[in-house]
Amino acid sequence: MIDLNPADPNHPDAPPTAPSQPGAEAPLDGVAPDSMTGGERAGISTACSVAEAEGEASGERSAQFYRRQFFFGPFGLRAIWSLLIYLAMAGTLVGGLSYLGHQIRQAGERAEQAAAKSGKPEHPVHTFGFAPKPGQPMPMPAMIVSEVLLFSSFFFFSWIMATIEGRPLSAFGLGGERAIARLLVGAFWGLLAISLLVFTLHGLHLLVFDARLDHSGSILFWGLIQLFAFFLVGLSEEYIFRGYIQFTLTRGMVAVGNLFSPRHARTIAFWAASVITSAIFLLAHKSNAGEDWYGLSQVFLIGLVFLLALWRTGSLWWGVGFHMAWDWGQSFLYGVPDSGGLMQGRLFATHALGKPLLSGGSVGPEGSLLCVPVILLLLPVLYFTRPSPLPAMEADI
C-alpha cells in the first residue's frame, strides 16, 4: 500500500523541502527566531556585546602585561634600561670633561708653538691645574675640586635613578651599619698594608729614601689637605665603580645565577658583576702616567678586595677608608709613586732599585710583585670582620 501523504521528511517518497532563504535565521536552542519575544532578542544581543567587550578587555590586559614585562622584572625597572639611562648621563659628563681637558691642553700646546716661532716669552694659558702637563702632578686645589665635581655628579645621577626605580639612595653603598666605624677600620688596615709593603721593599733594598723634603711649618697642612683629598678620591672612586653600577649589574644577573643555582643566585650574580666592575676600574687607571699592565693587574685585584669588603660589610665605607689611607700613605707619608704619579707636598723623596717587577719601578709599590701577598693578607681580615647584610634589591613600586 502506498502512503499518499508521508509525514516523515526522510521518507523516500516525501516531497523535497524548500531551500532556505538567504538571511534566514537558524533556530536557536530549538526555538525558532520568529517565535522569540523582543526581550529574548535583546538579551541575546546584550550577551554577545558583553562577550565581545570582555574579549577586547582581555586582549588589552594581555598587551599591557607584556609591555610591563618588557620594561619591569622582579626587582623593578629592568637592569638593562636602568644602565642605559645611567650610562647615558655618565657618558655625557665624562665626554664633556674629556673634551674640555683636550681643548685646554691644545691651547697650551699652541701657545708653546707660537712662542717658539716668535722667540718671545710664552703667553700663559690658564688651566687652573685641571690639565697638567704629562709627568707633572695635579695641584691639590684642582684635585679636590675635580673629585668633588665627580662625586657630586655621580651621586646626583644615582639619586635620579633611585627616584625612577623607587628604591632608597642608600641601596647604592653609602648606607649600611656603623658607617664611621667601618671607615676608620678600613683606614687602619689601609695604612698598615701600605706600610708593610713599603718597609718590605726598603728592607730588601728595592726602595731607597733619599731625603725628607723641607716643608718647614707647612708639613701639617700638606698632611691634612692630602688626607682630605684622598678621602674624596676614595669616596668618588668607590661610589662610581662599586656603587650604582655594581648594584644594578648584580640585580640584572640574578637570572643568570638562577640557571646555575637558584639558592645561590644572588651570590653568583654579585661576583659575576664584580668581575665586570673590576675590569672597568682597571681600564679607568690605564691612562695614569707610568702605569703598566702588571700594575693594572694589581688594580684589578684590589678592586675585587674592595668588592669583598662590600659583600662582607654591606656598604662601601670600609673600602673608602682603605682606599684613602693606602693612597695617602703612598703619596704623602712615604713619598712613593701612586699609579705612576708623584704628589705635590709629599714628605719624602724616594727612588726604586732593582727589577721593576720586584720594586714596582716608576709605577710605585703597588706595581711590585710583593704587593700581591700583602693584598691577599686582607682576605682573612675581611673574613673575620663582623658582617652586615647587603641592601635589598626589591624596589618599592
- Parallel, antiparallel, or unpaired for β 76-77 and 207-212? unpaired
Residue 48 is predicted with a pLDDT of 63
The cell numbers describing 238, all together, are 668607590
Residue 343 has pLDDT above 50, yes or no: yes
Residue 61 is predicted with a pLDDT of 65
Residue 291 is predicted with a pLDDT of 67
C-alpha–C-alpha distance, residues 137 and 353, integer Å: 22
The cell numbers describing 39, all together, are 526581550
The cell numbers describing 244, all together, are 650604582
CB 162 within 8 Å of CB 168: yes
Residue 270 is predicted with a pLDDT of 95
State the DSSP H helix or E strand holding residue 72, giving kind and residue range, or none if neither.
strand 72-73
Residue 366 has pLDDT above 50, yes or no: yes
* Contacts of residue 112, Cβ cutoff 8 Å, sequence gap at least 6: 122
3-class DSSP state of 74: coil
Q: Which of 93-107, 157-171, 226-240, 250-264 has the lowest mean pLDDT?
A: 93-107
- Percent of the chain with pLDDT strictly greater than 70: 73
The cell numbers describing 280, all together, are 672597568
What is the mean predicted confidence (pLDDT) over 40-62?
A: 63
- Model confidence at 220, in pLDDT bands (50, 70, 90)? confident
What is the mean predicted confidence (pLDDT) over 152-169?
A: 94
Residue 42 is predicted with a pLDDT of 61
pLDDT, tens only, 172-189: 999 888 999 999 999 999
Residue 340 is predicted with a pLDDT of 76
Taking the mean position of all CA atoms in its chain, how far away is CA 108?
Answer: 35
In sign, the C-alpha dihedral spanning 304, 306, 307, 312 is positive
- Report angle CA 16, 20, 23 to the nearest 5 degrees: 175
Residue 74 is predicted with a pLDDT of 76
What is the mean predicted confidence (pLDDT) over 145-170?
A: 93
Residue 209 pairs with which residues in a beta bridge?
Answer: 350
pTM comes to: 0.76
3-class DSSP state of 37: coil
CB 271 within 8 Å of CB 259: no
C-alpha–C-alpha distance, residues 378 and 56, integer Å: 62
The 8-class DSSP code of residue 31 comes to B
Residue 93 has pLDDT above 70, yes or no: yes
The cell numbers describing 262, all together, are 637558584
pLDDT, tens only, 121-153: 554 444 445 555 555 666 788 889 889 999 999
Residue 383 is predicted with a pLDDT of 92
- Report angle CA 254, 255, 261 to the nearest 5 degrees: 80
Residue 128 is predicted with a pLDDT of 47
pLDDT, tens only, 291-333: 677 778 888 999 999 999 999 999 999 999 999 999 999 999 9
* Contacts of residue 332, Cβ cutoff 8 Å, sequence gap at least 6: 222, 223, 226, 227, 343, 345, 346, 347
Average predicted confidence (pLDDT) for the chain: 81
Residue 60 has pLDDT above 70, yes or no: no
Domains of the chain, residue spans: 140-383
